[in-house]
Structure 1
Amino acid sequence: MTHTTSRRPSILNPLTLPGSPPITTVILGSTDVSPEQIISYEVGYQGWWWNHRLRTRVTGFYNHISDLIAFRSSSADPLGTVRPINGGLADVYGGEVGVEFLVTSWLSGFANYAYQEIGQSSTGFSRRGFPHH
């Protein structure tokens, strides 16, 4: 499955860059930017136990993202404007486990845990941030 999405940057679309202190800059548009591409795989299992009083779930996923949109500034531009470029790849993988228990017809409990990892390369200064858990 391939999914593409993009948001056209403009001079009216400010970007706050990470850092201390945060810096607000202006993004200029570019006609040379391609949409990001993603190939995704997901597999999961769900099982019911003890007369449907206990449910367990296990899921794993892998995403390969190409043509990551990054932002590059021009050293000749003193105003701090940046332009989008296609600048990298990312591989995202992870999984989730969960359990749900039906105590009575009106009371149930559940717990789950999720983990993800991102490996990426980028030629600009935009890197994806994410929680591991």
Structure 2
Amino acid sequence: AAPQEVQALVGEAPPAPAPPPGAEALFNAAQLALQRGDYLTAETNLNMLVTNFPTAPEGIEGRWLLGEARYVQSAWGPAAEAYLSYLDAAPQGRRASESLVRLAGAFGQLGNTKMRCSALGEYKRRTPNPDATLKARADAEAARSPCPTT
């Protein structure tokens, strides 16, 4: 059968599916959703991002942003998981110190003083000269409950 006859029998071919969104598109969509307070959409995009692009710069940054999305919703355990994932992927990343402070906060909310104090200690070790905003956040977290000095 000629190609035209086959085409007539089967009809028009369905359009090709759209390619999945790239790392940058997912990251940007997640940021916009967070700015709107649409945490479900933000988490959906961020989960797709970190799953499909785990080593891309956006995928690594997305791990931190996923922690932020969960933290502001008081989802302490999932927030801690996301911050730990970021720290595993980028131990010296630009958000590492901030992640440690947030991680301490999440562990504090979970009642895990040992891990909270460990995160604060690691923050202090890694960040001798934090900017004023991060220092204030870390100081506030440290003031919530004293850590043993042993």
User: Which band: TM-score by shorter chain?
Assistant: under 0.3
Larger RCO: Structure 1 or Structure 2 (Cα < 8 Å, ≥ 6 residues apart)? 1
In terms of fraction of residues, the more strand-rich structure is 1
TM-score normalised by structure 2 residue count: 0.18
In terms of fraction of residues, the more helix-rich structure is 2
